[in-house]
Amino acid sequence: MSEKVLMKGNEALAEAAIRAGCRLFFGYPITPQTEVSAYMSKRMPQVDGLFLQAESEVAAINMVYGAAGAGARVMTSSSSPGISLKQEGISYIAASDLPCLVVNIVRGGPGLGGIQPAQSDYFQAVKGGGHGDYHLVVLAPASVQELVDLTAEAFDIGDMYRVPVMIMGDGMLGQMMEPITFGEPKKRNLPEKTWATTGTAMQRKKNVVNSLYLTPEELEELNNERAKRYAAIEENEVKVELQQVEDADLVLVAYGVTARIAKTAAAIAREKGMKVGLIRPITLWPFPKKEIANAAKSAKCFLTVEMSQGQMVEDVRLAVNGAKPVHFYGRNGGIVPTPDEIVKEMEKLLGGANE
Amino acid sequence: MTQIILAGFGGQGILFAGKQLAYAGMLTGKEVSWLPSYGPEMRGGTANCHVILSDQEIAAPMIQSPDVLIALNQPSLEKFEKAVRAGGKIFYDSSMIDRVPENDEAHIFAVPATTIAASLGANNLANIVMLGKVLKESEVLTMDEIRMAMEKTISARKQNLLELNMKCLQAGFDYQA
């Protein structure tokens, strides 16, 4: 195991990407993830990689598109308004079956919004964002170490299924420092990139990267083939953390750093004699539907906590499928909920449940 | 678990002092987290950071009721003084703040940190003087552990400032009202 170092989330993620073999970074600075660009601009030349500050987010994502088409491990990083600008490119990349990493260190929205932490881009990340039937695999780390581990994992998942992968953090995760180690990530058996446009050397048929199909039958067939890969991802790639769910009357559902605040709230609630558990989705897509449906058999109710006006709560409700009430508590605009606020909310709900 | 909030003007070295605590905690095998304020606050307003040192996994990285508050200016004191838990400790720079903190249940330590730092020829090291006093009055970390952290975190180019930092740390440690 390598030495423990204290690093900011943004810098740790950049270093983890380089260690995962990423040698191309295209981006445009925006708070609160500018340190990713800054770190990349310093480190990429040291590893014979390329850092390029594009003229805009739209340009950056299309550079990613090109590099991904050539089979390179490539990434871009931004924050909410910048990610909105990238949506067209992301849809094209998904349609062309190309792997890449897109990082969103979310800030308050809509519009230019603010620069403080938020989780209000959940819908955009998991329900499309760009047009057409496609998915991003969306990973939501809760600590700087998990951010490091998931960065390596993100590239592998992308290569394995030929899909773009998003890491969704928030301003807190990007800015905070925690001790980390860069361990050896577990290796997957990845398929060769036989589709990459690397030049034929007159030895093979040319590869084409394209997202335009004017024959409906052809487009439907391609979309259906991709849907099979999405189904395999849903089958194999769900990641979730469960804590004290078995005996819980109330199950909190939260992701990212918010889940850690919920964890503190759950500990306070347990001390007060409330039976509280926590489900933390680590993959937001694929969503841990089974685990939540399972918890609905024993729990009396759910409380989803988010830094938004209530987005993931819709997926929790779909998973619970009416079996139990699903409540919501959130702060938004860059306000971070406190453990005490969450405890108060739970007291209200469990008070009612006991009557 | 020890929860520490450091707060002051942007430029007073709040984040740096917090980083020394977090780094030293890490070197002694503790779980640590360091959460800074960022954005417009950093320019002239109040900068703060939340540092947690723990023997267990750290859940919420933001602090509701700090065990220790280090306040280097009045707006920072006003923002956090009442949040300090009963039995907690408030350290404030009495050369910058001209009133006593409002919290009857906390232990209060007034340190003229800016004046002490200036007398040592280190105008911008009030943060480190303050840190010295915190080490003296709480068992969170030792002088040697902070020194190890500084050796690691001060860049090679600025290692000549290490001794001045240590001098300020010692002066804070030795200060008696």
User: What total of structural domains would you count in chain A?
Assistant: 2
Going by pLDDT thresholds of 50, 70 and 90, the confidence category of residue A353 is very low
User: Are the Cβ atoms of B26 and A261 closer than 8 angstroms?
Assistant: no
Is the same domain home to A153 and A266?
Answer: no
* Mean pLDDT, rounded, for B24-32: 97
Give dist(CA B73, CA A348) in Å, integer: 39
User: What total of structural domains would you count in chain B?
Assistant: 1
Q: How far is A2 from chain B (nearest CA, A)?
A: 14
Backbone angles phi, psi at A191, to 5 degrees: -70, 150
Segment among A27-41, A315-329, B32-46, B147-161 with least mean pLDDT: B32-46
Range of the domain at B144: 2-174
What pLDDT was estimated at residue A11? 98
Is the same domain home to A118 and A265?
Answer: no
Using a CB–CB cutoff of 8 Å, tell me whether A270 touches chain B.
Answer: no
Going by pLDDT thresholds of 50, 70 and 90, the confidence category of residue A55 is very high
Residue B50 confidence (pLDDT) above 60: yes
Number of H helices, E strands in chain A: 13, 14
Range of the domain at A53: 5-185+211-236
Is the same domain home to A122 and A165?
Answer: yes
Residue B99 confidence (pLDDT) above 70: yes
CB-CB neighbors (< 8 A) of A257 in chain B: 61
pLDDT digit string (tens) for A274-325?
999 999 999 999 999 999 999 999 999 999 999 999 999 999 999 999 999 9
Helix (H/G/I), strand (E/B), else coil: B131: helix
- Residue from the list A4, A32, A338 with its beta carbon closest to the beta carbon of B64: A338
Handedness of CA A309, A312, A318, A324 (dihedral sign): negative
Residues linked to residue A285 through DSSP beta bridges, in sequence order: A138
CB A148: neighbour CB atoms within 10 A? 26
Domain final residue, candidates A197, A221, A236: A236
Is the same domain home to A247 and A114?
Answer: no
Structural contact between residues A106 and A80, judged by C-beta atoms closer than 8 angstroms: yes
Backbone angles phi, psi at A274, to 5 degrees: -85, 140
Which position has the higher pLDDT, B159 or B60? B60
Mean pLDDT of chain B: 94
Mean pLDDT of chain A: 96
Handedness of CA A25, A29, A30, A36 (dihedral sign): positive
Q: Does A200 reside within a domain?
A: no
* Mean pLDDT, rounded, for B94-118: 97
Residue A33 confidence (pLDDT) above 90: yes
Residue B158 confidence (pLDDT) above 70: yes
What pLDDT was estimated at residue B38? 84
Q: Can you give the CATH number for the domain in which B97 is found?
A: 3.40.920.10
DSSP B158: G
Q: Does A206 reside within a domain?
A: no
pLDDT digit string (tens) for A117-173?
999 999 999 998 999 999 999 999 999 999 999 999 999 999 999 999 999 999 999
Residue of B nearest to A180 (CA): B26
Q: Can you give the CATH number for the domain in which A87 is found?
A: 3.40.50.970
Is the same domain home to A157 and A228?
Answer: yes
Structural contact between residues A115 and A103, judged by C-beta atoms closer than 8 angstroms: no
Residue of B nearest to A4 (CA): B26
Is the same domain home to A311 and A253?
Answer: yes
Residues linked to residue B52 through DSSP beta bridges, in sequence order: B3, B33
- The runs of H, that is alpha helices, within A47-143 are 57-69, 80-85, 87-95, 122-126
Residue B44 confidence (pLDDT) above 80: no
Going by pLDDT thresholds of 50, 70 and 90, the confidence category of residue A354 is very low
Going by pLDDT thresholds of 50, 70 and 90, the confidence category of residue B43 is low
* Mean pLDDT, rounded, for B132-136: 98
Cis peptide bond prior to A32, omega within 30° of 0 = yes
A253: closest CA among A175, A310, A213, A206? A310
CB-CB neighbors (< 8 A) of A333 in chain B: none
Is the same domain home to A42 and A167?
Answer: yes
Is the same domain home to A307 and A226?
Answer: no
Percent of chain A with pLDDT over 90: 96
Is the same domain home to A315 and A347?
Answer: yes
Is the same domain home to A255 and A231?
Answer: no
Is the same domain home to A289 and A227?
Answer: no
User: b or e along A338-350 (b: 16 or more beta carbons within 10 Å of the residue's beta carbon)?
Assistant: bbebbbebbeebb
Q: Can you give the CATH number for the domain in which A287 is found?
A: 3.40.50.920
